[in-house]
């Protein structure tokens, strides 16, 4: 079973922050397919598709590995069947990057997943960074109006890549 995991923080106060881009992408993907996150399992909200599961861990970002570990075990998925969708401050705002492997970089949620589960494919959505703000303050800040348009476009690109991942069409790193 393929598992698409969008990273974010479950508390409503984080809903429109840069750090919840992963949640936003899987929400949009689910909406396109008429799926609802109506099951709570493996420390995540789950939406079940025909041959895949969408998941939004409810553990808070820095403990995302707990949920992904349980999802992997429950669905008996291989590491290459799990796609992590996350925000990336090291990519320009709007850039979408699919990688089969790689390090966690500066992302604590991905670092926790790598430490507890292993290296999985990942889909990074660039959020840029504000050099005048502390990293934590920036990722937890509300997305401004100008950035909403850019991130909306990158969400669509990310969903196209998720579809290709589900069809087994992604076999190399891609940046769009």
Q: What is the CATH number of the domain that holds 78?
A: 3.40.50.1470
pLDDT of the residue at 19 = 94
Nearest of 125, 83, 118 to residue 100 by alpha carbon? 83
Of the listed 2, 19, 43, 95, which one is catalytic?
A: 19
- Cα 154 to Cα 1: distance, rounded to the nearest angstrom: 26
**SS3 call for 150:** helix
Q: How many domains does the chain have?
A: 1
Per the structure, the complete domain to which residue 80 belongs is given by 2-175
pLDDT of the residue at 150 = 95
Say whether 107 is catalytic: no
- Cα 129 to Cα 107: distance, rounded to the nearest angstrom: 13
pLDDT of the residue at 171 = 83
Q: Digits of tens for pLDDT over the chain (176 positions)?
A: 999 999 999 988 999 999 999 999 999 999 999 999 999 999 999 999 999 999 999 999 999 999 999 999 999 999 999 999 999 999 999 999 999 998 877 788 999 999 999 999 999 999 998 888 888 899 999 999 999 999 999 999 999 999 999 999 988 899 99
DSSP 106-134: T-HHHHHHHHHT----EEEEE----TTS-
List the structure tokens of 15. 């809903």
């Amino acid at each position: 079973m393929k598992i698409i995991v969008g990273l974010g923080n479950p508390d409503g106060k984080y809903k429109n922050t840069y750090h919840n881009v992963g949640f936003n992408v899987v929400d949009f993907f689910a909406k396109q397919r008429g799926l609802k996150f109506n099951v709570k399992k493996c420390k995540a909200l789950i939406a079940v598709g025909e041959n895949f599961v969408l998941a939004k861990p409810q553990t808070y970002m820095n403990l995302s590995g707990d949920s992904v570990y349980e999802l992997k075990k429950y669905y008996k998925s291989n590491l290459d069947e799990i796609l992590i969708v996350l925000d990336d401050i090291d990519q320009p705002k709007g850039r979408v990057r699919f990688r089969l492997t790689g390090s966690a970089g500066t992302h604590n949620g991905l670092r926790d997943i790598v430490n507890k589960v292993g290296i999985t494919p990942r889909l990074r959505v660039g959020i840029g960074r504000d050099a005048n703000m502390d990293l934590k303050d920036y990722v937890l800040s509300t997305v401004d109006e100008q950035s909403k348009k850019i991130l909306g476009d990158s969400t669509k690109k990310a969903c196209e890549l998720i579809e290709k991942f589900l069809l087994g069409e992604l076999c190399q790193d891609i940046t769009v």
